Amino acid sequence: ISVPEFEGIILGLIKQRVLWPPEMSEDESQPLCKSINHVVGMPSASFPLAASGLTLVEGVAPNCGDCKLAEWDSHPTRKGPWCQEQFVLAVLADLEGDGSMAPALLTYQRSGLKAAKQYLGGFARKRQPAFSVVTKFALTPNKRGSVAYATPVISRLGETDTDMWEAYGENYLAIRSFLQTPRTDDAEE
């Protein structure tokens, strides 16, 4: 579904990391490494081991904090870290605009992280759950030279029913658990 904006309730944040090849091609490709919990990585066979500064031990997942690819200017072709931080928001979203909410995942990375960090930071400072309000998600179109892009806009609408908070919390924990459970390739089994 593609919508210009929608309303939803943020159930919670799942931090992740992803390392893509330095140059993306038209061909479908898999990440060189992925961290489903922002703590340990799952490197592929194409992982740039020498650039990472890691020593891989079979059966032991490498710690993201020890990897040099998350450091600034580690990317081989542009400024910034090669390994990108991702904020995955578990939301109940009204994508149809009819008032019915369904679970959805929104992933923010690179320039989109700023909006997500600012919005979620307000809840952290007040020690308030993000599901205490209904949130509006939208995009603002921009252009720099010939490059068209959009920046996310996240804003508060109204408060949610406090009687639903326990259910929102339980849904978030279930979604986070599912997303942070390592999967195996069916072909391997």
> DSSP class of residue 107?
E
Element of type H or E holding 179: helix 165-179
CB contact at 8 A, 8 and 134 = yes
Give the model confidence (pLDDT) of 125-141 as tens digits: 999 999 999 999 999 88
- Average pLDDT over the chain, rounded to whole? 87
pLDDT of residue 2 exceeding 80, the answer is: no
Task: Find, among 128, 139, 138, the residue nearest to 168 by Cα.
Answer: 128
d(CA 168, CA 111): 28
Instruction: Give the pLDDT of residue 103.
Output: 92
Give the model confidence (pLDDT) of 98-119 as tens digits: 878 889 999 998 888 899 999 9
CB contact at 8 A, 93 and 132 = no
Give the model confidence (pLDDT) of 61-110 as tens digits: 888 988 999 888 888 888 888 999 999 999 999 887 787 888 999 999 88
d(CA 181, CA 39): 13
d(CA 54, CA 51): 8
Give the model confidence (pLDDT) of 27-38 as tens digits: 777 899 999 999
